[in-house]
Structure 1
Amino acid sequence: MSQLISELGSNDDTDINTEELPLQYSKSVIAAIQEIVPGEDPFDSPDFNAVDYINERFPAEQSLHLLDEVLEEMRVKLSLVENETQQLVRQLAINSQIGQDSLQSAEESIRQLSARFQEIKVTSGESEQRVRAITRDIRQLDTGKRNLTTSINTLNHLQMLTEGVDKIRSMMAARQYGELAPLLQGVLNVMQHLSRYTHIPQVKQLSDQVLQNQKELEQQILADFRSSTASLATPSYQLAEACLVANVLDKNVRRSIMELVVEHQLAEYRAVFAGSERDGWLTCVDLRRKWFLRAAVEFDRTLAQMFPPGWKVPARLAYSFCRLTHEQLTQAMALRTADIDSTAILQAHRLLSDMESLIIQKYGTSFTYEDLLDNSNEKLPKPSDVSPRSPVSATSSAGRFTPRSEDSSVAASNSNAGEDSQPPPAAAPSPYDGAITSCFLPYLHIHLNTLDKRLGEQIERFMSAVKSYSFDRVEEEESNVMPCCGELFTLYKNMLVEYLRVSQQGYGLPNLIAIFQRRLREFATRVLREALPQASQQGFGTLPKDMKDISAIISQVQSLLVREGGESLRLSSEEEVRKVCSVLVSAEYCAHMTNKLQAKLLEKWQLAPKSIPDPDAPRKVLAASASSAISSAPSNISLAAEEELFHAVLSQCILLLVGHVESLCDGYLASIPKLNWLLEQTGDQSSYVSQLSAHLSTTVPLVRYHLHTSRKHFTRFCDKLAAGICIKFTQQVYRCRPINSIGCEQLLLDCHALKAVLLHMPVMASKVIRDPPVSYTRMVTKSLARPELVLQVVMGEYSSPMQLVEKSIRLMPDLSLADFQKVLELRGIKDKAPLLESYRQRTSVESDASATTINSTTTTTNTTNTATVASPEHELSRIAKLEKMLKARRLI
């Protein structure tokens, strides 16, 4: 073995210096080498162990005969490795020489390239100097050319200005306005070019001459118009050319010319229809309309052709007519305030509104507030102060007025909405909209007083009609709402539409809402409630005369709904039942319509103007005194109180119906304590249950028939009726003394039968059988659970009085001390004081314990009850026997 190691370690090759080669590498280097050049030779492993390798090759002593072959194999492998190493070393030396040669060649190339760069840099610097010299010369030439061109143009402009000033003077003297207009425009353009040279005396002198010519020209044109306007009946060619010159001059000239023309056209109108004249009153509004239509058509036919289209003189004439009409009507109404009535206002407003619509149809699309601001220094109304009018069709031909149909325009807009889903852009407000009719806004209180009076008279007629109204039986498909309800809200709708038209789409709307509120309260209390049978009026009290204390009215109505212990109201006939049902349905309809009316009023209030449109200061002064009649907007525009009042009347109707049915049931329920409850055996249900069922099957279907349009309130009626019957039945059960256990079983049987009757009550004699509402079933079951539990406690057998207390607490944890005393009275116990004291102590202890831990108390109570009940098998057998008997009779 030692010989093999020595031969493996020997190396006679002197060409390789093994001391200079790294014989040890790190594990990471060896792992990387094996990953690149994988091999299975154990000598390549970093964990190679010579002893382990020899033991592996020679595991036993008998394998040593292969020693020579292994040595020969190792020699051959070592020779191959040495040869490969020598080749790699030689190749490395060759590659090192080649790399050095390449590096020297690259360094030489870099030195040559650097020298070439230096040569290029010097050449480019020389070229840049030559280019700078060339461009400097070119810039000098360009500057000289530009200065020369500017000088020539300036001299030409100066020559043109000099000649133009002279020509303007000669043309002004000859009034050659047609040739003067383009010349003046050209001179003004030249002056704009020479504005930089006004510091030069010659240019300054020419500029002053141009300004002086403009002023003289303005005065001359205005003088020509003043001298010709009075006798102007046909278009003047000279004045038409003068308008072209004025179009070049300052805009104040155009405004002055238009004021002269408009003032001349409206001179006759101003004199004839002044506020103090007979024709200036509201009844002569139609004469104003006819005068304007005639004057507008005549002006369009003659003088309108004399002015440039951009001036829009016909539109300005129409606007001035509207403003003058507004001033005159305002003055007339201020002088004759006592003669103003609602009829005159409505008639005048209708005619003037139609005239505004005609003007908007002809000029509204081309004449806006911007046109007024462009040529006027007067104060104009803001677009937000004028209520928008519905879009107007502009299909009328020029020079003719075509009446506008609101219905057709609305229909057209609806049809177009189907074709284009995108909403049309909002139309710009027109200065004509409300320009005349806004004069009536300070006098809206007169119209409001008329509306209030009309509503009051109508309610009086409703009151008279209701007294003689016949509440006949209606068919199922018909509604039994009182006709006056529909008439009232139709009248409200018409009044709202009329007021919105008169009040510029809702100015002063809160005042109308206040009237609506007061009249709705009057209708609810003086019409609907007065229609109820006279027996229901008892205890209602006197209504406030001014009808303003709405809370007092509601509290008085609702006081009828909370009466306890009073005598039940009974309706005398079927007609009174129909009357109450009709009032109930009518109150529901009124509450619904009041809610819709409130939504509509809020919508209109949001769009309504909050101040009087004010096109000019004089109009504001005239309207200031009368506008005090229009009160400010209330903080809360709501009809919720009136809607609640209708609901109160509705609840009173339900109370009347419930009281009527209950009053007929009282006799049957009152007979319960009068029966003998010391029975020896149970039988069928008692006679009072059958009589009660027969009565309900007669009266309830009648109520359901007349409330066929209001199933929700019929359900309320059934809830209240069933709750009242259950309460009275429970009270009568406490009065059934003396009673034995068999009597308790009979009462329990009657209780189940009554529950079946009440559960079936909503669908009695109905063609359509449907299950009662879950809430109704739950209410009936819960209401009759108390007498059932009381009877179970009373009929039980106890070995000690404390068992009675424990069972009462277990079955009825919420049983009061007074009710427990009634249970003891049913049991016939004479000495009740100890049991009452024990019950009081137990309930107080258990209430304190339940406040800390409810679950533990419940568990303790159940355990105690189980331990203290005597003879549980006997009691359970009695209850099971009773339930079996009830099921046999199909009562449960």
Structure 2
Amino acid sequence: MNGNMADAESISLDAADYDPIQHLNLLFPHPSTVSSVHRVSLTLRSEQNALSAQIAARQTAQAYGPDSSLERMQSAQAELGELFRKIETVRARAIQTEQNITSMTADIKRLDGTKRNLTLSMTALKRLQMLTTAYEQLRGLAKARQYRECASLLQAVLQLMRHFNSYRSIDQIATLSRGVGEIQRELLEQVCEDFEIAFAKGEVGGRRATLVEACGVMDALGDTARARLVAWYVNTELREYRQVFRGNDEAGSLDNIGRRYAWFKRMMKGYEEEHASIFPPHWRVGETLAMAFCDGTKDDYRGILEKSMRRVDGAKIDVNLLLSCLQETMDFEQSIERRFSTEPRASIDTLSSADERTHTFNGSISVAFEPYLSLWVESQDKTLAAMIPRYKAQPLLPADEEFSPQAVISSAIELFHFYKLTLSQCAKLSTSDRLLDLAKTLAKYLDEYAQQVLLAILQRPAQTAASTQDIVLVLNTADFWHTNTSQLEENIKKRIDSELVSKVDLTSQADAFLGVASTAVLALVNKVEADCDGAWREMKNTNWSKMESVGDQSSYVGELVTHVNARAEEILAIVVKPHAGPYPRSVQSRCCWTNTS
């Protein structure tokens, strides 16, 4: 027991691996040691009391000793207070230093402000002096019509005047600003007057130099002044044109459309020889003149066409005349488009360097004809309506042309070229609703050609039934139009306006020609079938019940094979594979199916 107690006392309660169970087992290793529980309890309590006393003593020493936490806390608070006092002292010194520096630099700042204001005042005064001097000089030059000097001086005056926009509340500046505005108006009116007098008296050649310099003044005055002078010149040049062609029904009629364009060419020739050198190139006066001519002519045509549609006698415009005028107009538009599109652009250093050419002459006049192109479409409709009966009555091939396996009915070739020419012509005239109307007209007569011409050949009565060669011609023609109808649709879609593309559809027409081709194949098969009628009758009339012997082959079979082979070879010889595509195989398949069913 004593040994166990010694071992138990040797165990440190502070050990990291302390195990209370092990400790208890050492204190009470055997049931007989339970009687010592009271003594062990007293020992433990005594040990606990001793430890408690030690803890209390140490706590007291820690709290009230010379290095206690309370004293350290009080010392820290005192040091912190001292630190705050030092910081406040430094802050007060910094404020005082800033005040001293501000006081020292205040005079310097006032001096800098005074220098800046003095510089601005001197600059403004110098500019005002320059403006006043330039203004007085400009007044004198304007009266003397010395436009070259006026142009450069006016630019300087306007540039200087912009510096005083914020000073217009000052009476003297406001008065000077009004004076500058007044001299601008005087120069504008003076230059316009000089141009009017020179043109009215025919003195353009003698005063050319003055007018050229005057254009420089107009450039300095700005876009509004320049536009006024150009508008006056354009109206002056076109006055005669308007008087001749608007005031005279005969001269202004569509029959004399060529006279309008001839007049314009003479006018432009005179402009280039006499007036073009007066105006700066970047003004593009020639182009403006041409555009004004086109606008006026377009309005004239609209009036003429509207008047023609309201004729009392009910007669319509001659379609051929309409097309002739339209074609001549489009040729004219293209000529002036080429003329002005090749002109050199203004230099990036010119005042109008940002002015890009945003318009085109194509369609500038011909747009007036577009609402009346329906008459042309109606004319094409009538032409096609007359062609279909003629195609139906005429021979499939010309008299001087022999049949060939690749041949196509001559009317199909003629119709194809007519469609091609008509489509090309319409696309030049209009790519909008009129082209869509034409597409519908072409589709209409493709259907009629398929039904009334091609299918009618295959549906002739027995006494005038189509020959094998005629059927092959129909087959070739149907295949030709099936291919070209799809290409025609794509061609129209490429030319028509994008918003109308979805309305172009020739699928039903292509399918119609495919149906004609199928009917032609069936007609060829019927040819084979007709040759076999005798053999089939023999088979039908045979009394099978009285036959006494059975042979390898009935008599009608040999005849049937002979007829099938002969007719099939004839047909397949002219339904050539490279040209006819799947049709030879279709003929063979249908023949087999017919004879086996």
Q: TM-score higher than 0.5 here?
A: yes
Distance 1:131 1:706, change over 3 A: farther
Aligned to 1:179: 149
Matched, 1:684 2:552: yes
Does residue 519 of the first structure (1) align with residue 445 of the second (2)?
yes
Matching of residues 576-615 of structure 1 within 5 Å: 576-607=467-498
Contact 1:323/1:435 (<8 A) preserved: yes
Task: Tell whether the 8 Å contact from 1:364 to 1:430 is kept in structure 2 after alignment.
Answer: no
Report if the CA contact (8 A) 1:315-1:367 is conserved: no
Q: Kindly state the Cα deviation for residue 202 of structure 1 after the two structures are TM-superposed.
A: 1.9
Give secondary structure in 2 for the equivalent of 1:508: helix
Q: 2:128 is matched by which residue type in structure 1?
A: L
Which residue matches 2:15?
22
Alignment partner, residue 253 of structure 1: 225
Provide the residue aligned with 2:51 in structure 1: none
* Pairing 1:498–2:428 present: no
Correspondence 1:507-656 to 2 at 5 A:
507-532=433-458, 536-537=459-460, 576-607=467-498, 636-656=503-523
**Of the candidates 649, 663, 669, which is equivalent to residue 530 of structure 2?**
663
Whole-angstrom distance in 2 between the partners of 1:707 and 1:307: 74
**Which is worse superposed, 275-284 or 238-247?**
275-284
**1-structure distance, mates of 2:209, 2:115:** 48
Given candidates 354, 364, 367, the residue that maps to 1:438 is: 367
Question: 1: distance between equivalents of 2:357 and 2:555?
Answer: 81
Which amino acid in the other structure matches residue 358 of structure 1? S
Equivalent-residue separation in structure 2 for 1:199 and 1:461 (angstroms): 90
Q: Which residue of 2 aligns with 1:418?
A: none
Distance 1:126 1:675 in 2: 146
Q: State the alpha-carbon separation in 2 of the partners of residues 462 and 472 from structure 1.
A: 18
Query: Which residues of 2 match residues 656-805 of structure 1 at below 5 A?
Result: 656-672=523-539, 674-676=542-544, 683-708=551-576, 709-727=579-597
Q: Percent identical across equivalent pairs?
A: 28
1:282 CA drift (Å): 3.4
Q: Does the aligned pair in 1 maintain the 2:198–2:204 contact within 8 Å?
A: no
Matching residue of 1:752: none
Q: Describe the shift of the 1:333–1:705 C-alpha distance in structure 2 as closer, same or farther (beyond 3 A).
A: same
Matches within 5 A, 1:851-866: none
Question: Partners of 2:591 and 2:357 in 1: how far apart?
Answer: 62
1:463 to 387, 392, 399: 392
CA offsets 1:278-310 (integer angstroms, 9 cap, x no match) = 443334444433333333233223211212222
Q: Cα gap change, 1:714/1:304 in structure 2, threshold over 3 Å: closer, same or farther? A: same
User: Residue in 2 aligned with 1:357?
Assistant: 334
- 578-587 or 346-355, larger mean C-alpha shift: 346-355
**Contact 1:570–1:659, Cα closer than 8 Å, also in 2:** no
Q: Does 1:345 align with 2:322?
A: yes
The change in CA–CA distance for 1:518 and 1:18 in structure 2 (over 3 A counts) is closer
Report the AA paired with residue 716 of structure 1: S
Question: Does 1:488 pair with 2:465?
Answer: no
CA distance in 1, matches of 2:291, 2:530: 75
Report Cα offsets for 1:735-791 as digits up to 9, x if no partner: xxxxxxxxxxxxxxxxxxxxxxxxxxxxxxxxxxxxxxxxxxxxxxxxxxxxxxxxx
Secondary structure at the aligned position of 1:162 is classed as helix
For residues 684 and 523 of structure 1, the distance between their equivalents in structure 2, rounded to whole angstroms, comes to 52
The C-alpha deviation readout for 1:710-734, integer Å capped at 9, x for no partner, is 242333333333333333xxxxxxx
Matching of residue 296 in structure 1 with residue 234 in structure 2: no
Q: Is the 8 A contact 2:397 2:410 kept in 1?
A: no
CA distance in 2, matches of 1:531, 1:429: 57
Trace 1:72-87 onto structure 2 (pairs within 5 A). Answer: none
Is the 8 Å Cα contact of residues 506 and 604 (structure 1) preserved in structure 2? no
Within the alignment, does 1:451 sit opposite 2:318 as a pair?
no
What letter corresponds to residue 462 of structure 1 in structure 2? Y
Q: Structure 1 pair 207/712, CA: closer, same or farther in 2 (3 Å)? A: same
CA distance change for structure 1 residues 172 and 669 in 2, over 3 Å: closer, same or farther?
same
- CA distance 1:711–1:322, change in 2 (3 Å): closer
How far the C-alpha of 1:576 sits from its partner, in A, is 0.3
Residues 507 and 363 (structure 1), Cα distance of their counterparts in 2 relative to 1, 3 Å cut: farther
Counterpart CA distance in 2 for 1:300 and 1:162 is 41
The Cα shift of 1:587 comes to 0.9
- How far residue 333 of structure 1 moved from its aligned partner, in angstroms, is 4.1
**Contact persistence 2:12–2:18 (CA under 8 A):** no
> What are the residue-to-residue correspondences of 1:803-882 with 2, within 5 Å?
none
Q: What is the identity, as a one-letter code, of the residue corresponding to 1:521?
A: D
Q: CA deviation at 1:132?
A: 5.2
**Post-superposition shift, 1:152?**
1.6
Q: Identify the structure with the greater helix proportion.
A: 2
Alignment check: 8 A CA contact 2:472 2:520 kept: yes
Contact 2:427 2:496 in 1 (8 A): no
What is the CA distance between 1:578 and its match in structure 2? 1.4
Q: 1:333 to 1:129 in 2, by over 3 A?
A: same
**Partner residue, 1:474:** 404
Q: CA deviation at 1:334?
A: 4.4
| SS in structure 2 at match of 1:719 | helix
Change (3 A) 1:464 1:121: same
Task: Report how many aligned residue pairs link the two structures.
Answer: 523
Cα shift at 1:198:
1.4
CA offset at residue 497 of structure 1? 0.7
In 2, are the aligned partners of 1:275 and 1:281 still within 8 Å (CA)? no
Aligned residue in 2 for 1:833: none
Contact kept in structure 2, 1:594 and 1:639, CA below 8 Å: yes
- Over the residues paired in the alignment, what is the CA RMSD in angstroms? 4.2
Partner of 2:69: none
Query: Measured at CA, do residues 343 and 455 of structure 1 come closer, stay the same or move farther in structure 2, by a change above 3 Å?
Result: same
With over 3 angstroms needed to count, the CA separation of the structure-2 counterparts of 1:643 and 1:307, relative to structure 1, is same
User: Take 1:299 and 1:138, find their aligned partners in 2: how far apart are those partners?
Assistant: 69
Paired with 1:262 and 1:187, the residues of 2 have a C-alpha distance of: 30
Are residues 429 and 700 of structure 1, via their aligned partners in 2, closer, same or farther at CA, if it must alter by over 3 Å?
farther
What does 1:164-313 align with in structure 2 at a 5 Å threshold? 164-230=134-200, 231-234=202-205, 236-274=208-246, 276-313=248-285
- Please identify, of 180-189 and 341-350, the stretch whose mean Cα deviation from structure 2 is larger: 341-350
Deviation of the 1:473 alpha carbon = 4.8
Which range moved further: 436-445 or 464-473?
Answer: 464-473
Q: Give the alignment's TM-score, normalised by structure 1.
A: 0.52
Kindly provide the amino acid, as one letter, of the partner of residue 489 in structure 1.
Answer: F
Letter of the structure 2 residue corresponding to residue 200 of structure 1? I
- Equivalent position amino acid for 1:342 in 2: V
Deviation (angstroms), 1:332: 4.0
Output the CA distance in 2 between the equivalents of 1:491 and 1:672: 53
Q: CA–CA distance in 2 between the matches of 1:707 and 1:697?
A: 15
Report if the CA contact (8 A) 2:478-2:513 is conserved.
Answer: yes
Q: Any unmatched runs of 5+ in structure 1?
A: 10-16, 27-110, 369-373, 376-426, 539-568, 609-632, 728-892
For residue 331 of structure 2, what is the amino acid of its counterpart? D
Give the CA deviation at 1:496: 0.7
Q: Which residue of 1 aligns with 2:35?
A: none
- In structure 2, what is the Cα distance between the partners aligned to 1:178 and 1:296? 28
TM-fit CA distance, 1:597: 0.9
**Relative to 1, partners in 2 of residues 1:139 and 1:715: Cα closer, same or farther, differing over 3 Å?**
farther
Alignment partners' CA distance in 2, 1:439 and 1:159: 59
Structure 1 residues 429-480: Cα deviation after superposition (integer angstroms, max 9, x where no partner): 63311112223223213322332343344444433432675795526xxx12
